[in-house]
Amino acid sequence: MHRLFSTRFVFIVFGTLALCAASYAQISVGVSVSFGPPELPVYEQPLCPGDGYVWTPGYWAWDGYDYYWVPGTWVLAPEPRLFWTPAWWGWGGHGYIFHAGYWGPRVGFYGGINYGYGYFGHGYDGGHWEGKRFFYNRTVNNVNVTEIHNVYNTTIVKNYGDSRISYNGGRGGIEARPTSEEESAQHDRHIPPVTAQMQHVEASRNNRELRASVNHGKPPVAATSRPGNFTEPSVMHAKEGRGYGSDRPEKAAGFPGSAVHPKELPANSRMSPPSTGDAKQDKRFQQDQEKLYGRQAQERQQLQQKQEQEHQQYAQQQSNKEKMPQLEQQHRQQTREMAQHHYQQQVEMQQHQQQPRKYSPKGKP
């Protein structure tokens, strides 16, 4: 049984995925919100496609508007003797932070999350390297032994439970801390996801059916035999899955939900500023916060007026009336991007508040 990854809310800019290794560390930005993504879905592992492939668990990613599922998949290791450390979410004090996955000589800390198939919270029980050959533990891996002969069988003691929680710390999160070996692994040489993995994430982001708002936590493509192969017969569907919890995403400030136009967005709710112990600094933050909200309200109004003008123009031209659905889709995207940007501005302001005398609000129009 395989699990997937979720957490309280995080903002992941997994957008431009044609990234080089130097810029890979910039693909995730932690933010604080009030709702969590779906639980880890349950699905079967597809057959290993060939020798040297390593299993990489799936996870929920965030594109600024919605969570979307990145299916688990088999990936050809970039070099012999490298293992995959899965991505994970962890509480950072004011929000859940995304920790990107990576290749390295040892499996590092991944939040104590039980992803299944060898990744049961700490380390990896799915296989090991002997020289340049990877040996698969058939107890937890789906391997065709007629084609792959470097296999073994080691029973795994099931002492990790059946939790489908996919984040560490915070309310209801996994209470796990890195071992000394996992802490040491942080200093090893790490290699970012290979190109096939990045393309796999991009394909997931662009697949509407993988969005949590559409699949309600039970993605139709839960795992694939190779990265990006979402239509092949070997695709595995989620057998179980549950959507958002009691803290619905539409309750979050600025979350666009199904809003088409800015007037349909919920009003901005004030984020409670973290106290720095400096009364002047806290007052300055509140003043800057009000200025930011004022600018954002003005941007909402401007976008609303622009969209209303476009509606009027289309309504006056008979030839454009049939194109109204496309216009509505364009307006929905504009509203979504604005809401995402506004929320990020608010979070950045709150984060900078923790740096007395260095705070400089971002996001001027």
pLDDT average per 10 residues of sequence, the chain (365 residues): 35 34 37 62 95 95 78 97 92 76 96 93 95 96 95 78 79 88 94 95 92 88 95 89 58 54 70 64 83 91 92 77 79 81 73 52 46
CB atoms within 10 A of CB 138: 16
99/109 Cα distance (integer angstroms): 10
Instruction: Classify residue 365: in a domain, yes or no.
Output: no
292/287 Cα distance (integer angstroms): 9
Residues 85 and 210 reside in one and the same domain: yes
Single-letter amino acid code for the residue at 67: Y
Residues 232 and 309 reside in one and the same domain: no
Residues 269 and 241 reside in one and the same domain: no
Residue among 81, 77, 84, 85 at smallest CA distance from 130: 81
219/70 Cα distance (integer angstroms): 9
Look up tokens 């693909």; give the residue: 27
| Angle at alpha carbon of residue 82, lines to 80 and 86, rounded to 5° | 145
163/168 Cα distance (integer angstroms): 12
Instruction: Classify residue 359: in a domain, yes or no.
Output: no
Instruction: Classify residue 204: in a domain, yes or no.
Output: yes
Instruction: Classify residue 257: in a domain, yes or no.
Output: no
Instruction: Classify residue 312: in a domain, yes or no.
Output: yes
pLDDT at 282: 77
Residues 164 and 297 reside in one and the same domain: no
Question: Where among 217, 252, 287 does a domain terminate?
Answer: 252
Residues 43 and 131 reside in one and the same domain: yes
pTM: 0.64
CB atoms within 10 A of CB 98: 26
89/72 Cα distance (integer angstroms): 16
Residue among 4, 9, 63 at smallest CA distance from 31: 9
Residues 240 and 267 reside in one and the same domain: no
Residues 172 and 301 reside in one and the same domain: no
pLDDT at 244: 65
Burial class (CB in 10 A: 0-12, 13-18, 19+), 135: middle
Question: Where among 200, 218, 252 does a domain terminate?
Answer: 252
Residues 233 and 289 reside in one and the same domain: no
Residues 285 and 325 reside in one and the same domain: yes
The answer to whether 222 and 69 are in contact (CB under 8 A) is: yes
Look up tokens 């003005």; give the residue: 298
Look up tokens 């604005």; give the residue: 338
- Count of domains in the chain? 2
The answer to whether 95 and 31 are in contact (CB under 8 A) is: yes
Residue 138: C-alpha distances to residues 202, 223, 301 (Å): 31, 18, 59
> Is the torsion defined by CA of 216, 220, 221, 222 positive or negative?
positive
Question: Where among 252, 273, 292 does a domain terminate?
Answer: 252
Domain that holds residue 288: 262-352
Residues 285 and 247 reside in one and the same domain: no
Instruction: Classify residue 362: in a domain, yes or no.
Output: no
pLDDT at 64: 66
Secondary structure (3-state) at 55:
strand
| Angle at alpha carbon of residue 110, lines to 72 and 38, rounded to 5° | 55
- Report which DSSP code applies to 49: -
Residues 24 and 59 reside in one and the same domain: yes
Residues 95 and 128 reside in one and the same domain: yes
Residue 3: C-alpha distances to residues 60, 170, 239, 328 (Å): 11, 20, 11, 36
Instruction: Classify residue 226: in a domain, yes or no.
Output: yes
214/99 Cα distance (integer angstroms): 25
137/121 Cα distance (integer angstroms): 17
Our measurement of the distance from residue 62's CA atom to the centroid of its chain's CA atoms, rounded to an integer in Å, reads 4
Residue among 244, 199, 205 at smallest CA distance from 221: 205
